[in-house]
Amino acid sequence: MVIRDRLTALATLARRSFRRLQAQASYPAMPSPLRARLAFVALAVGTIAVGLVVHWRGTLLPATLRDVLGDALWAMMIGWWIGAVIPDTRVASRAGLALAICWIVEVSQLYHTPLLDAWRRTTFGQLILGTGFDVRDLGAYAVGVLATAVFELSVRRRDPSSNAEPGAAS
């Protein structure tokens, strides 16, 4: 219950922060793609912070839940960074690209060289490339990417001042 309440509070805080960023960045001189980029960067940085807390301090969570949650957060971070790089692309296209990147990185864990394995043993390498292939991670990545798409579309639907989805017919 406590974990669910904290995750619900975190989701509410993220939605409010996203809306606040959109409202604060609505200056006429600032182009819409720049506003979107700033919002996506803020979401990515926030997701990284939550992911690091789960990774380093999530000992209260069962190991499997911590692993799956960490993988889903990693996929969300990839989705937000893709949004920051190509904000004018449709949500579905960005989600597909994020999922492809996540799955490619996961499948790449089946490939081993001494240099690559040495890098994977570092903290940075472990956080970016992972350590070992796990089919369960593919599902966690799908959940994380789906969460980013649902979150973005729900914010767009609730906030009439936000632009229509990029690439959508006018």
Per-residue pLDDT of the chain (170 residues; tens, 9 = 90+): 666 676 676 667 666 766 665 555 444 444 488 888 999 999 999 999 999 898 888 888 898 999 999 999 999 999 999 999 999 899 999 999 999 999 999 999 999 899 988 988 998 888 788 888 999 999 999 999 999 999 999 988 876 555 555 555 43
Residue 124: the pLDDT is 85
d(CA 156, CA 87): 13
d(CA 99, CA 46): 20
Instruction: Specify the pTM.
Output: 0.74
| Cβ-based neighbours of 22, under 8 Å, separated by 6 or more | 35, 39, 155, 159, 161, 162
Residue ranges in the chain assigned as alpha helix (H): 2-24, 32-57, 63-85, 91-107, 114-120, 123-129, 135-158
Residue 3: the pLDDT is 62
Evaluate whether 117 touches 47 at the Cβ level (below 8 Å): no
Burial class (CB in 10 A: 0-12, 13-18, 19+), 2: exposed
Residue 126: the pLDDT is 84
